[in-house]
């Protein structure tokens, strides 16, 4: 544990961080760029979870009494502290998860941004007033704190998703219990330590809790505990079904942000330079490990050869130009996959696509170490981003599945209605994009009647990746229906109460009922 990033963030001396080990009560964080261990982390047991749950209930009983604008001041201070440590925290994300340094820093900036958003929101948790049908009565709604919130996050955004949930939950008056991915525990320890340290220094201990453990010891008991009224879970559709079933059985609330099989449609009048740049980043950025990664390209038959040719040139430049490698090195555009299973899944999906009738245009294999941006790298989980042509107007069966790696499946269409039907054909409904020059095409894609894109995110002339915190983030169908981050997503972390006040003297019932 000699890495400078750990020293900068105080992790080298943290009581949860130990030397890498293979004991049952520790997990080892591995650097996917090298395959080498970074540090060991102590795992929590069921007894540890019970302690955290009890502390969370007590902290909530104190925190809920703090006026919302004062809760906002705590979040403001947390955001300021995260600003101070933005770069080393972002580098830790890159070290532990594998996304390039600019994206790692950008992820911490997302937490800073949502903290700023939450500070303003702390003075805007508005209810509404409504007219009563009875004389001398008034009606209003108010929003109240919900309780301890369970937040289960995935490895691909090991910090930002906690921030989206935690900052909004805090101003809402809730306590957050964070259960991070076991692939990225160091990032969770660093971020949560900063938030809890700041809150405790301001007199509010226990608002930000952390549990790190396996499913049997931590995830399942947390999901089933009635003291946790809301579980916000990010991960695979399979995981979301399990969480949703368990929470529904106890009539709790779920906020699910699950898989995405996202498509870009390119119309013949689109700006092809703009479109191909967005598709390229969406397909290969974060080595295809974003839930919003571009996985399918649906391009008009009249411009398909031009678009594919542009993309093939970009892919070959990436593969031959030393732009894949150490995510912390300057000039690297694509880092590694998270681990060996992801590499194997990538190769298997490409092989299956060819067996099903697809044509491999470029990439698809494990990356030759000689092509890495940093020749000094040993090990690591690197692959060649792949592009596969499908038959015109249809999907290969494998393209209907979400492989969490950089594979772009390409097909063609003749009418926009056909393209939208192809886009909507998959089970997931997270992100979608249309590149066009026509307001009519835009209107068809964003049809207010709901016959256009069926996704929670719909973009025109920008790619499927890169959501801003001002808008609610999430999707439909197998993506889970949850919404995090901006807009009115704060309502998920509160409970609504309708209040009716009678200030007269006469007995009156609604609906004109007489009972005299």
Catalytic residues: 257, 291
Q: Are strands 407-413 and 428-429 parallel, antiparallel or unpaired?
A: unpaired
Residue 346 class from Cβ within 10 Å (0-12 exposed, 13-18 middle, 19+ buried)?
buried
Please report the DSSP string for 19-86 in residue order.
S---STTEEEEEETTTTEEEEEEEPP-HHHHHHHHHHHHHHHHHHTTS-HHHHHHHHHHHHHHHHHTH
Angle at 274 between CA 268 and CA 279, to 5 degrees: 90
Q: Which residue has the tokens 């499913």?
A: 215
Which stretches of 448-507 are assigned E, i.e. beta strand? 457-460, 472-473, 476-477, 484-485, 494-502
Taking the CB of residue 95, how many other CB atoms lie within 10 A of it? 26
Structure tokens at 374: 């940093």
In angstroms, the CA 135 to CA 487 distance is 35
Coil vs helix vs strand at 381: coil
One-letter-per-residue 3-state SS of 116-157: HHHHHHCCCCCCCEECCCCCCEEEEEEEEECCEEEEECCCCC
């Amino acid at each position: 544990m000699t890495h400078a990033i750990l020293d900068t963030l105080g992790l080298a001396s943290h009581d949860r961080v130990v030397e890498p080990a293979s004991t049952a009560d520790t997990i080892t964080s591995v650097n996917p760029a090298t395959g080498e261990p970074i540090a060991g982390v102590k795992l929590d047991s069921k007894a540890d979870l019970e302690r955290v749950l009890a502390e969370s209930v007590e902290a909530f009983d104190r925190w809920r009494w703090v006026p919302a604008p004062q809760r906002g001041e705590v979040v403001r201070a947390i955001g300021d502290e995260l600003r101070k440590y933005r770069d080393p925290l972002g580098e830790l994300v890159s070290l532990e998860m594998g996304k390039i340094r600019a994206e790692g820093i950008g992820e911490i900036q997302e937490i800073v941004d949502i903290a700023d958003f939450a500070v303003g929101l702390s003075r805007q948790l508005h209810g509404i007033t409504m007219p009563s049908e009875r004389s001398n009565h008034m009606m209003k709604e108010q929003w109240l704190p919900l309780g301890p919130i369970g937040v289960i996050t995935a490895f691909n955004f090991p910090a930002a998703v906690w921030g989206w949930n935690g900052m909004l939950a805090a101003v809402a008056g809730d306590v957050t219990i964070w259960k991070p991915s076991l692939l990225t525990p160091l990032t969770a320890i660093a971020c949560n330590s900063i938030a809890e340290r700041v809150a405790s220094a301001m007199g509010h201990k226990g608002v930000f809790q952390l549990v790190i453990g396996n499913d049997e010891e931590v995830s399942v008991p947390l999901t089933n505990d009635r003291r946790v009224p809301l579980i916000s879970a990010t991960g695979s559709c399979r995981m979301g079904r399990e969480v949703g079933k368990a929470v529904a059985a106890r009539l709790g609330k779920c906020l699910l942000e699950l898989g995405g099989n996202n498509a870009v449609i390119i119309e013949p009048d689109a700006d092809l330079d703009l479109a191909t740049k967005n598709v390229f980043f969406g397909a290969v950025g974060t080595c295809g490990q974003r839930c919003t990664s571009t996985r399918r390209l649906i391009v008009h038959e009249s411009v398909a050869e031009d678009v594919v040719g542009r993309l093939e040139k970009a892919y070959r430049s990436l593969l031959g130009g030393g732009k894949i490698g150490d995510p912390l090195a300057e000039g690297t555009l694509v880092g590694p996959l998270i681990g060996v299973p992801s590499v194997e899944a990538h190769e298997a999906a490409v092989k299956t696509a060819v067996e099903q009738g697809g044509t491999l245009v470029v990439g698809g294999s494990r990356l030759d170490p000689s092509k890495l941006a940093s020749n000094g790298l040993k090990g690591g989980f690197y692959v060649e981003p792949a592009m596969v042509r499908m038959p015109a107007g249809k999907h290969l069966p494998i393209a209907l599945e979400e492989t969490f790696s950089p594979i772009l499946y390409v097909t063609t269409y003749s009418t926009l209605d056909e393209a939208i039907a192809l886009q909507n054909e998959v089970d997931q409904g997270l992100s979608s994009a249309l590149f066009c020059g026509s307001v009519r095409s835009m209107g068809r894609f964003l049809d207010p009647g709901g016959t256009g894109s069926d996704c929670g995110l719909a973009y025109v002339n920008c790619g499927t990746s890169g959501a801003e915190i001002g808008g609610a983030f999430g999707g439909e169908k197998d993506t889970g229906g949850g919404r995090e981050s901006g807009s009115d997503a704060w309502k998920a972390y509160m409970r609504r109460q309708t209040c009716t006040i009678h200030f007269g003297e006469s007995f009156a019932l609604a609906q004109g009922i007489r009972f005299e």
